[in-house]
Amino acid sequence: MTVPDIRTPWFRGVRAPAAKIRLVCFPHAGGAAGTFHNWATLTPPEVEVLSVQYPGRQDRLSEPCATTMDELADAITAALLDEPADDLPLALFGHSMGSSVAYEVARRLEEVPGRTLTRLFVSGRTRPRLAQELAPRSAPTDDDILNHVRRLDPQGAALYEHPALRTVIMPSLRADFGLLAAYRPTRLHRLGVPVTACGGDGDPACPVEDLAAWSDVTTEGLDVRVFEGNHFYLNPRKEELVGFITAQLL
């Protein structure tokens, strides 16, 4: 029997008929669902993996990018609630910008009766900064963005040196960095589920000690797990990371 793919405007994945939990994965700024394209091959049948596809990239290239965190989180939450009417509990994993998006979706899901959220996994980013902690910033210039990307991912940044690719990729990256620059919640919502914060021991954007700040967004405790690597440790450490996540879920 062929297992159908999950392919909606917002999600990519493979349906897992034996699933007991659904893991929803949120990519980094400028990233896409393909970041997690083979995670399902590393998880047991009890875990169904959904990858979020933000608008303005890959097969959603013709759609406008989200301009605010509320716009993006509201749309993803609504799309999740439109998923098959089953009682599968949800867990969320976000990397970098995806951590903030996943947190915002998590707090929205907690307000929905009948949908069970079990855990939030965040990666490569500290918790959201409040308006009173850090004022909104001006959107960074393209040079600012590219210098930041080169610092975090020297190999991946080589794509931006190709004019044709840069024209295609830059708009979503520019939009995501602008969204993050303006994102300043007025208060922190404390989730009623555990939070697990992951990071690379050599991440220049999110030092290991910054992961502890996620304790401010949960009433159920924070676990911190550090992996060897830089900001994009999750690529070379994928099997180790997915195994760790799976152990936390089952």
123 counts as catalytic: no
- By the 8 A CB rule, do 155 and 197 touch? no
Q: Give CA–CA dist 34/31, Å, rounded.
A: 8
231 counts as catalytic: yes
Catalytic residue among 51, 99, 123, 231: 231
Catalytic residue among 51, 96, 99, 172: 96
Residue type (1 letter), 156:
G
* Cβ density class 90-108: b for 16+ within 10 Å, e for less: bbbbbbbbbbbbbbbbbbb
Interaxial angle between packed helices 97-109 and 163-182, expressed in degrees from 0 to 180 and rounded to the nearest 10:
50
Outline where the chain has alpha helix (H). Answer: 69-81, 97-109, 142-152, 163-182, 238-249
Active-site positions read 96, 231
